[in-house]
A and B are shown apart, each in its own frame.
Chain A
């Protein structure tokens, strides 16, 4: 961007649009900015280089070389780890503040920890489930983000922690990532907070804003034990909380791109409501035939805890006069109400969910048109279409009527967008 502007300067001076003094100021501005920001291309190459080398070593190790003696293999197991440590130690002592060295050495060391544990378990045929392997790998690389001040180490840590928790919780039955995953989250949060405060507009911060909510949403399901039905309630509160957290981050770091939080906070509840717009979904909830009452289950405590946090954050944000005027914040309350109604009258809940979705769709379309936002308008339209498609499957409506409804929504899509683009142009 700056290159284009700088190359256009002589032309602008010649045309008399800017004075030579202004041109000098522009040049000085960009030079100063370049001194402060690290060389982004070099940084990107260093990151990819370290990632590919580290992953390459893991793959070469996974070949399981039979021709080497046990001793040789054991030495090779420690080699990448020691090299990684020497480079990282050198970075701390001699290259402190150099982002390229910090990020590349942190990535390489993180991956070589995994390579080393993996080779030792091959040499001695140690079983270790995939989840316990991932656990130790993640734990041993945890301090790197702080010691090397590396955002990539933090990102890899979040991914590793989620992979571990999902593997243990979903695929290796009888294991639970709890409470380790949550301790990992607590340990990594200070770095994430500092990063968002210090460099909210950076790619590193924005990747975190995407990876963190996705990781939380994926792993949260592993908390389901005996009352899986209550998890729907807890998830709704989690979605609400994530949406508010995104707004909270935005309130002190306005340059942050919080689309990950917004996505979780909007698409999550809409997806859940779509699911529960089917009468059969309410029937599949099993809380009635469970011998232990649902309020004794750990899922209910999650629901309560997250709801309290959600309400507290909402009140706090309102007191801070942050912008929280989205109707999405009422969804967890509405859903909880429907959920409890469904224990007695599942049909009433089904009707209420359908009406709510219809209301959300219309309100979002109106909001989009008022704010001149094509994205919001289309989210509203998609909500209405989604609702229509869902009803297409389970209601005994005449084919002609269904066809007409689809045509109406399709034409609405087209006209709405056309009208909005025209409005924006004028």
Chain B
């Protein structure tokens, strides 16, 4: 393989390498700008990822749904979760669907974590809130003390981005400072 050919291929590769994180940035911003905001009630804990550092893992209140028996959901199945807001202003599951819901519906794609009888437990793709090393543990302690809070999630055409976690109306990042 001659040098110019190799360099040409390398430029292509470099573009693909840039495209991948670039698309992640673009997609996330699109959801943040255009998405509808939902408040998910949470209970956090604090683990770490070997490459991406500390994060607060979030457990959501709205993860279980009583599905009709004939829908027969399976573990690890991808599911579209239709969302609505309850009287207290928090996100609530309206229904589950295998096919993409209509445009005007607010929905997010998730995975079926497990099924027990007719009760489906879901796993949302926004359960990690990355925080500065050292602050994550502090955040967890604050959270445990208050024991009330919610995750602000923007939802746009099935994609979701976790924007912030709020405790008593204040960002967890601010509180743990």
> Could you list which residues of chain A lie within 8 angstroms of chain B, going by C-beta atoms?
58, 61-66, 74, 77-78, 81-82, 85, 88-89, 92-93, 96, 113-114, 116-127, 130, 133, 136, 140, 143-144, 146-148, 174
Contact = CB atoms under 8 A, between A and B. Distances in A.
Contacts of A96: 3, 6
A133 B51 contact: yes
B7 A124 contact: no
A92 B3 contact: yes
A176 to B, nearest CB: 11
B130 A143 contact: no
B51 A58 contact: yes
Given A61-B53, A147-B13, A125 B21 contact: no
B3 A66 contact: no
B54 interface: yes
Contacts of B126: 125, 127
B161 interface: yes
B28 A81 contact: no
A147 B21 contact: no
Interface string B120-145: 00000111111111010000000000
Contacts of A133: 51-52
Contacts of A62: 49, 51-54, 133
A136 B21 CA distance: 10
B10 A126 contact: no
Q: Which 9 A-B pairs have CB atoms at the shortest separation, nearest pair first?
A: A62-B53, A174-B76, A124-B28, A125-B162, A122-B130, A66-B132, A85-B14, A120-B21, A64-B132
Interface in B1-41: 1, 3, 6-7, 9-11, 13-14, 16-18, 20-22, 24-25, 28, 32
A123 B29 CA distance: 11
B156 to A, nearest CB: 13
Contact of A89 (B11, B32, B51, B52): B11
Interface of B: 1, 3, 6-7, 9-11, 13-14, 16-18, 20-22, 24-25, 28, 32, 49-55, 75-76, 125-133, 135, 161-163, 173, 177
B21 A122 contact: no
Chain A contact residues, majority secondary structure: helix
Contacts of B28: 120, 123-124, 126
Contacts of B161: 124-126
A74 B53 contact: no
Contact of A85 (B17, B75, B127): B17
Contact of B20 (A125, A140, A144): A140
A28 B155 CA distance: 73
Contact of A63 (B1, B32, B51, B133): B133
Contacts of A58: 51
A124 B24 contact: yes
Contacts, number: 119
A155 to B, nearest CB: 19
Given A64-B133, A74-B25, A92-B10, A122 B52 contact: yes
A187 B12 CA distance: 18
Contacts of B49: 62, 130
Contact of A174 (B18, B50, B75, B130): B75
B27 to A, nearest CB: 9
Contacts of B10: 88-89, 92, 143, 147-148
B22 to A, nearest CB: 8
B9 A147 contact: yes
A241 B82 CA distance: 52
B6 A118 contact: no
A85 B21 CA distance: 14
A92 B13 CA distance: 13
B71 to A, nearest CB: 19
B51 A78 contact: no
A140 B16 contact: yes
Contact of A118 (B51, B125, B128, B162): B51
Nearest to A74: B25
A186 B14 CA distance: 22
Contacts of A126: 24, 28, 125, 161
B51 A113 contact: no
Given A64-B133, A125-B161, A78 B21 contact: yes
Nearest to A89: B10
A120 B25 contact: yes
A146 B132 CA distance: 38
